[in-house]
Amino acid sequence: MERDTKAFRGKIVEKYDTVANFAKAVGWSPRKASYVSRGVQLLNASEMEEAAKALEVNDAAEFMRLFFPEQSIRWTVKGGAEQ
């Protein structure tokens, strides 16, 4: 199952114009960056850190929104983890 990556792709295009330019910035192959941006391939922790630095993500909420979209929605619902 592919995950929702609209916010992640949007951030890439906002900062780098293309996924290929983003791939160069983080030192990934264009294929890997394409797979990641479409949710086909997941990132490990160090790759998330590389991508976050390249995308200038400095806020925990934005990090969650970009890399864990399914979980970040849970925290925005009334009551969050208390439910």
In the chain, where the domains are located: 6-77
Per-residue pLDDT tens over the stretch 11-27: 999 999 999 999 999 99
**Quick one: fold of 6-77?**
434 Repressor (Amino-terminal Domain) (1.10.260)
Per-residue pLDDT tens over the stretch 64-81: 889 887 765 555 555 555
Residue 1 has pLDDT above 80, yes or no: no
pLDDT at 82: 47
The pair phi, psi for residue 6, each rounded to 5°, is -60, -45
pLDDT at 5: 86
